[in-house]
């Protein structure tokens, strides 16, 4: 029996005619082929490019990447589910990552996380209804001497206090 890819709603992903990956993303992925020894080695950057375009990695995008890299869809899914930085569901435009490791915890991370939850009205792992923010707690962000730290998309905020949250959590 052949594999059949369906999304979370049971929709047949392969029957969807509109490609998930833009022509631009496909050409950026193809441009990587000469830089890596195998197509499989292109998988991580290809996933990053797809996620940068779409915001997350829907099943259709995974199938298209598998096709481009001549991999089985299961190989792609294995990688996506192994790493934390790949998202299989939509996330907010701003991803708030609060460090929960020891240095940050000793420097007030718990109160900070509670204040962020209260301010956004969401729990860890949730996204605000307007799609602005997703909140997660993560392990050490390698800035322990600046604890507590909060990473908002690509921007690291250091020695964060509750009073700083209005500025840090400004909607776009």
Which residues here bind ligand FES, judged by CB under 6 A? 99, 101-104, 140-144, 147, 149
Interatomic CA distance for residues 134 and 143, integer angstroms: 21
Please report how close the Cβ of residue 109 comes to ligand FES at its closest, in angstroms: 7
Residue 166 structure tokens: 């209005």
C-beta separation of 61 from 50 below 8 A: yes
Residue showing tokens 């209260």: 118
Please report how close the Cβ of residue 126 comes to ligand FES at its closest, in angstroms: 22
Report the residue number, 52 or 106, with the smaller CB distance to ligand FES: 106
Report the residue number, 62 or 135, with the smaller CB distance to ligand FES: 135
Report the residue number, 29 or 107, with the smaller CB distance to ligand FES: 107
Residue 31 structure tokens: 């441009």
Give start and end residues of each alpha helix (H) in 18-169: 23-30, 43-54, 59-69, 73-82, 102-106, 109-120, 165-168
Q: Burial, 82: exposed, middle or buried (Cβ in 10 Å; 0-12, 13-18, 19+)?
A: exposed
Report the residue number, 32 or 151, with the smaller CB distance to ligand FES: 151
Please report how close the Cβ of residue 151 comes to ligand FES at its closest, in angstroms: 9
Please report how close the Cβ of residue 103 comes to ligand FES at its closest, in angstroms: 4
φ, ψ for residue 7, nearest 5 deg:
-85, -175
């Amino acid at each position: 029996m052949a594999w059949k890819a369906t999304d979370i709603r049971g929709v047949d992903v392969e029957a969807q005619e509109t490609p998930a990956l833009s022509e631009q993303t496909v050409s950026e992925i193809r441009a990587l082929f000469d830089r890596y020894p195998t197509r499989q080695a292109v998988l991580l950057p290809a996933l990053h490019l797809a996620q940068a375009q779409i915001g997350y990695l829907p099943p259709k995008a995974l199938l298209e990447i598998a096709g481009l890299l001549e991999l089985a869809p299961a190989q792609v899914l294995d990688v996506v589910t192994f790493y934390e930085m790949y998202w299989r569901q939509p996330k907010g435009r701003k991803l708030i990552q609060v460090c929960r490791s020891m240095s940050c915890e000793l420097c007030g991370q718990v109160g900070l996380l509670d204040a962020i939850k209260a301010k956004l009205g969401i729990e860890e792992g949730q996204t605000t209804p307007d799609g602005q923010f997703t909140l997660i707690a993560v392990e050490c962000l390698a800035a322990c001497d600046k604890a507590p730290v909060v990473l908002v998309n690509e921007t690291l905020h250091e020695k964060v206090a509750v009073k700083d949250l209005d500025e840090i959590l400004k909607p776009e």
